[in-house]
Amino acid sequence: MDHGNQFSSMIFLENLIKKFSDNTHDSTMTKEEIIDGLKWIREEFRQLKELDFREIGDHLYDGLYIADGNGKTLYVNKAYTRITGLKAEEVVDKYVNDIIKEGLYKNAVTPEVIKQKKQVNSMGTSTRNGIKMLITGNPILDQEGNVKKVVVIDREITDLLAMQAEVEATQQKMKAVEKDERKRKQEIQHLRKIQLNQNLIGKSIGTQQVTEKIHQIANLDVTVLIMGETGTGKEVVADEIYLNSMRKEAPFIKVNCAAIPATLLEAELFGYEKGSFTGASISGKMGMFELADKGTLLLDEIGEMTMELQSKLLRVIQHKEVTRIGGRRPVKLDVRILAATNCELREMVQKGKFREDLYYRLNVFPIHIPPLRLRGEDIILLTQHFLSIYNGKYGKFTIIEALGMEVLMQYFWPGNIRELKNIIERLVIVSDHSAVISGEQIAILLNLEPYYAEFMNKEIGLKEIVANVEKKTIEKALATYGSTRKVAKVLKIDQSTVVKKAKKLGIGIGDEKENR
Ligand SMILES: Nc1ncnc2c1ncn2[C@@H]1O[C@H](COP(=O)(O)OP(=O)(O)OP(=O)(O)O)[C@@H](O)[C@H]1O
């Protein structure tokens, strides 16, 4: 006999009954089989006795109510008392209809379960303690389909309702936060757009050409090489490209290759695995390339990068993947690269200071920003722009007299827009609340003072005055530093500009070789 199968125990009992009640039945059961079967049934009884359903019932968290087919209460568990507030002695052995009449039950399901012979659900509230519950009644039917028992589960939902209210409140809050977030994003977009229009101030032909180029390539995902003297707005142009590109919602990472020591730049750019070199963080670090994935990376002052790092950079750009220092697994990348420099990269290539292959990789689309001195029209617009910014910042209403504008227009601006911006800020700071800033004030700030009096006397024109200043400055610098290369560095202008100016101003620059 299969002792694990209840069904076979029934067959055994059937056979046993038949064997002893019907002598004609041909039962093949042996004495041993009968003893074996009886032992097994004895074991089943023992286990059943041990399974105390009341004890189990009392350990349920939900209320349990059992009635017979006539609605007479047979059993309630402890949780039932906790939830309904009714003690067992108040309901057990009573008919459900009487309990209802006594006013102890509202929404009882037992009479309906007996009537419908199927599951009945209802929501109820305890008449004693106001606890809300979900009531589920199920019939147990006999073979004829009559209701033998009714089993009712009372599930407390007060907590659930509180939780639901909490969830709803949280959802409301989240919606408010989301709305806020959306609003903030819209504001940022709006500000970005305003910034977008304000960033690149200028109407000169030079600026118009730059703007046109930005719009040609912003969305094309090509690598752009932005060139121009210091302070001409290379970063502003990079911002404009990013803001007008499809990647504008993705990260925009800027790395100033000149500001980070060469020894650290590699780790900054490509990242490193944990413990890959002395001083590396234990957890390793993501490089700028990885951080810029799906977005844009600006490599500013690219001309300052060492040849060794240039090779590594070339590899990353070519293979579109980066391997962290000390790492083995290359990480695939999708990064748009913008590079900026105030160096003459082509000259550097010729001198073997910049890799030719990298130069061509970066120079897919070049943008040259002209120096401010060649963008006379922009000087006026930029001056007005910065004046309104700094008036706002310092709560003033200063203006610049016409002669002042002329001085600004004639100046050489070696530091380009950055210098103009700084000068205007300084002028606003030192001026009274509603001052009219004079040409003289500006001349003093620009170190043009010695020539200003001459200019005012109209003995010579301002251009001449500026040329004089330039001549003296370059002559002095040449005497001090000895070569046009060094002078260019000190005066923050191109070497070719120094040479051109020297020729124009009649300054002897000596042996060409010495100047290289
Ligand atoms: N067209 C412009 N309109 C308004 N502001 C500008 C413009 N161009 C540059 N500026 C401002 O001038 C300053 C210098 O610009 P930026 O930093 O972009 O120059 P850069 O060429 O990257 O300089 P560097 O070579 O020294 O890094 C910034 O404050 C910038 O906001």
Residue nearest to atom 24 of ligand 1 (CA): 230
ipTM of the complex: 0.98
Q: Give the pLDDT band of residue 514 (cuts 50, 70, 90).
A: very low
Query: Which residue stretches of 247-396 are H helix?
Result: 262-270, 288-291, 307-319, 345-350, 356-362, 376-394
Distance 1 CA to ligand 1 centre (A): 94
Give percent helix, percent strand, percent coil of the chain, each to the nearest 5: 55, 15, 30
- Which stretch of 160-174, 292-306, 315-329 has the lowest confidence by average pLDDT? 160-174
Using the atom order of ligand 1, give the atom closest to the CA of residue 201.
3
CA of 240 to the centre of ligand 1 (A): 12
Instruction: Give the single-character DSSP code of 495.
Output: H
User: In the predicted model, what is the mean pLDDT of residues 420-446?
Assistant: 91
Ligand 1 atom nearest 421 alpha carbon: 12
Closest atom of ligand 1 to 228 CA is 21
Rg of the chain over all Cα atoms, to the nearest angstrom:
45
Q: What is the pLDDT, as a whole number, of residue 382?
A: 96
In one letter, which amino acid is 459? E
Residue that wins the pLDDT comparison between 461 and 30: 30
pTM of the model: 0.57
Rounded to the nearest whole angstrom, what is the distance from the C-alpha of residue 419 to the centroid of ligand 1? 9
Return the DSSP state at 292. Answer: T
Angle, vertex CA 37, rays to CA 32 and CA 40, nearest 5: 130
User: Can you tell me the distance from the alpha carbon of 180 to that of 34, in angstroms, rounded to the nearest whole number?
Assistant: 80
Identity at 156, one-letter amino acid code: E
Residue 171: CB atoms within 10 Å? 10
**Rounded to an integer, what distance in angstroms lies between the CA atom of residue 199 and that of residue 193?**
10
**Domain spanning 374-515 has what CATH number?**
1.10.8.60
- Give the H or E element holding residue 416: helix 416-430
Contact 301, 345 (CB under 8 A): no
CATH of domain 54-156: 3.30.450.20
Overall fold of domain 200-370? Rossmann fold (3.40.50)
**Mean of the per-residue pLDDT values of the chain:** 85
For a pLDDT cut of 70, what percent of the chain falls above it?
Answer: 88
Give the distance (Å) from ligand 1 centre to CA of residue 483. Answer: 28
Name which residue leads in pLDDT, 119 or 24: 119
pLDDT at residue 512 tops 70:
no
- pLDDT value for 278: 60
pLDDT-derived band at 197 (thresholds 50, 70, 90) equals very low
Cβ pair 337, 223 in contact under 8 A: yes
| Nearest Cα residue to atom 16 of ligand 1 | 233
Residues lining ligand 1, Cβ inside 6 A: 199-202, 228, 230-236, 300, 340, 342, 382, 417-418, 421
> 449, exposed or middle or buried, with CB in 10 Å at 0-12, 13-18, 19+?
middle
Measured by CA distance, the residue closest to atom 10 of ligand 1 is: 233
Q: Report the separation in Å between the CA atom of 473 and the middle of ligand 1, taken as the mean of its atom positions.
A: 25
Q: Which residue puts its alpha carbon closest to atom 23 of ligand 1?
A: 231
Long-range interactions of 20-24: CB distance < 8 A, separation 24+: none
Ligand 1 midpoint to CA 233 (Å): 3
Tell which wins on pLDDT, 507 or 309. Answer: 309
**Which tokens is 121 given?**
């659900």
pLDDT of 43-52, one tens digit each?
A: 887 777 767 7
pLDDT band at 283 (very low <50, low <70, confident <90, very high): low
CA distances from 236 to 7, 199, 239, 340, 468 (A): 85, 7, 5, 11, 33
What pLDDT score does 81 carry? 94
Domain ranges of the chain: 6-51, 54-156, 200-370, 374-515
- pLDDT of residue 230 exceeding 80: yes
d(CA 103, CA 101): 5
